[in-house]
């Protein structure tokens, strides 16, 4: 992926590839830094062009030497140009690890409060200490901020493609990267975009809970804890709790803190109890059934309800939404009783979502009614 011509021992140019993976970028970067640059063999000039005059050749050598000396003074040994974000008209260099970006200072300052402060402080120092006309400006080092290079890359891509992202949201990993980088470096508009995108993926509304589970719940829970996203907490927790115990659930839970794992496990017990306690036998007197028919209906009814427990004991929100349809198919003649029970189940689901989950998951005062 990387090549570093022997003519410049201090700068290694990263050749672009088709959508390089961040892991490949970092691995190749390290390999390039650990590989010594072989000196190039002298090549005999066989060109028929007239040789340069002594004055021209001397001037050219002075310019090249001066340029290399500036790079040597202002650059860490062996930095590499980013394959995409080394802009030919860039006027500020930013570095993470061994990778350097050549970007537009004005655009960074307009988008980021962090960069705006940094440039203002740098300008103040230069005014006080005098401008150094001999050397290029030092690169902005981001390692101390803790921003990840992959997150920063994806944030820069978002700056180019944000309009497309509103029409066609990027993958979850990209949204997460934008949130982290934009939060650390204070890009408020991109931070707001990422927060809105995650809230759209994990809506905090009872009506939005359906049969399809939402992936990345554990990752979203971690992001919510780290960057203050209270509106996604309830749905992320519920998505984790509604999974029955198994390999998939264990894999997701392994990402969480011990405290959050305990919250999920305790919530599953509460959800199972809420499901079982919601069962009430049908009042067959409302439908005018004889005592013999009523007894048969009630026996069949409890067997039917318990058979659904395997599917809905950890997901009573979906279960209570599906019970009216299931019940009408089970006992078609009890339409009046079905309507009464449907109201009970809807009320129970609303209580779980709007009140109980906040207590079980310790969500504080946040709720969405």
pLDDT (tens digit per residue) in 13-35? 444 444 444 444 444 334 333 43
Beta strands in 283-328, from DSSP E residues, in sequence order? none
Q: Looking at residue 26, what is its pLDDT?
A: 41
- 135 CA to centre of own chain: 39
Is 297 a residue whose pLDDT tops 80? no
The mean-pLDDT minimum among 78-82, 183-187, 304-308 falls in 304-308
Is 339 a residue whose pLDDT tops 70? yes
pLDDT tens for each residue of 85-94? 999 999 999 9
Q: What is the mean pLDDT of the chain?
A: 79
C-alpha to C-alpha distance for 14 and 30, rounded to whole angstroms: 12
Model-level pTM?
Answer: 0.73
Question: Roughly what angle, to the nearest 10 degrees, separates helices 316-330 and 258-277?
Answer: 20
* Cβ proximity of 77 and 87 under 8 Å: no
pLDDT tens for each residue of 310-329? 889 999 999 999 988 877 77
Average pLDDT over residues 117-140: 82
First-to-last alpha carbon distance for the chain, in angstroms, is 53
- Name the DSSP letter for residue 133: S
């Amino acid at each position: 992926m990387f090549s570093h011509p022997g003519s410049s021992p201090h700068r290694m140019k990263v050749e672009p590839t088709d959508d390089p993976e961040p892991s490949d970028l970092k691995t190749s970067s390290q390999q390039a830094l650990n590989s010594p640059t072989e000196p190039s063999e002298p090549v005999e000039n066989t060109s028929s062009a007239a040789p340069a005059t002594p004055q021209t050749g001397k001037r050219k050598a002075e310019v090249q030497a001066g340029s290399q000396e500036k790079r040597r003074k202002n650059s860490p040994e062996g930095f590499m140009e980013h394959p995409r974000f080394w802009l030919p008209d860039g006027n500020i260099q930013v570095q993470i690890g061994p990778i350097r970006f050549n970007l537009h200072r004005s655009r960074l300052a307009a988008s980021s409060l962090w960069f705006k402060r940094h440039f203002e402080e740098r300008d103040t120092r230069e005014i006080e200490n005098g401008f150094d006309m001999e050397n290029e400006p030092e690169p902005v080092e981001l390692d101390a901020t803790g921003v990840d290079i992959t997150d920063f890359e994806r944030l820069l891509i978002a700056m180019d493609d944000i309009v497309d992202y509103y029409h066609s949201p990027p993958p979850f990993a990209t949204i997460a990267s934008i949130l982290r980088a934009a939060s650390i470096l204070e890009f408020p508009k991109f931070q707001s975009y990422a927060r809105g995108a995650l809230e759209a993926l994990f809506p905090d509304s009872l009506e939005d809970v359906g049969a399809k589970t939402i992936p990345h719940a554990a990752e979203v829970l971690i992001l919510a804890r780290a960057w203050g996203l209270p509106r996604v907490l309830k749905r992320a927790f519920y998505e984790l709790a509604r999974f029955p115990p198994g390999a998939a659930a264990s894999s997701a839970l392994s990402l969480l803190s011990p405290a959050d794992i305990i919250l999920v496990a305790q919530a599953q017990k509460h959800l199972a109890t809420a499901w079982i306690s919601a069962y009430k036998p049908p009042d067959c007197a409302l439908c005018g059934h004889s005592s013999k028919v009523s007894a048969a209906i009630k026996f069949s009814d409890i067997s039917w309800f318990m058979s659904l427990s395997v599917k809905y004991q950890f997901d009573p929100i979906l279960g209570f939404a599906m019970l009216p349809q299931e019940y009408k198919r089970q006992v078609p003649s009890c339409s009046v009783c079905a309507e009464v029970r449907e109201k009970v189940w809807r009320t129970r689901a609303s209580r779980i979502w709007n009140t109980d989950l906040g207590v079980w998951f310790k969500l504080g005062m946040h709720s969405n009614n």
